[in-house]
Homo-oligomer: A and B are copies of this chain.
């Protein structure tokens, strides 16, 4: 586990170190198995295209979970995340060979009572498409 971030060491306006993750078709197959969401738009290219999508797309919940992981990795304590809200703004398209890369960025936008900090987060693809915006409220040590 990462060392825990302490409330007193965090400044409002501070940027978190960005983090990128790869997402491949295999990831989506594993995620489908683990989450129980077997919708074929996340696994079957022909099906995805037949319903008008450009290709297989990642589960929104997969993206949300990854952004959440960015926060728990940052603060070093999964139990610290007290609220988490996500707005989905675009799809993460996952081509067969190349997959895709999602970069998560974050900033401390507020410090509140009870040793809580508010983080604003964004997830985007290399072409500059913003796929999700999120806000997390985290109770630090």
Interface residues of A (CB under 8 A from B): 1, 21, 27, 30-31, 33-37, 39-42, 59-62, 64-66, 68-69, 72, 78-79, 81-88, 91
What residues of chain B lie closer than 8 Å to A79, measured between beta carbons? 60, 88, 91
Report Cα–Cα, A27/B79, bound state, in Å: 19
Partner pick for A65 among B39, B64, B87, CB 8 A cutoff: B64
What residues of chain B lie closer than 8 Å to A27, measured between beta carbons? 34
**Given known A30-B30, A64-B64, contact A35–B69 (CB-CB < 8 A):** yes
Q: How far is the CB of A62 from chain B (nearest CB, A)?
A: 8
What residues of chain B lie closer than 8 Å to A35, measured between beta carbons? 31, 34, 65-66, 69
Cβ-defined contact, A69 with B31, below 8 A: no
Cβ-defined contact, B65 with A78, below 8 A: no
Q: How far is the CB of A90 from chain B (nearest CB, A)?
A: 10
Q: How far is the CB of A40 from chain B (nearest CB, A)?
A: 8
Q: Of all chain B residues, which has the CB nearest A26?
A: B34
What residues of chain B lie closer than 8 Å to A36, measured between beta carbons? 21, 66, 69
Report Cα–Cα, A60/B68, bound state, in Å: 9
Q: Of all chain B residues, which has the CB nearest A76?
A: B39
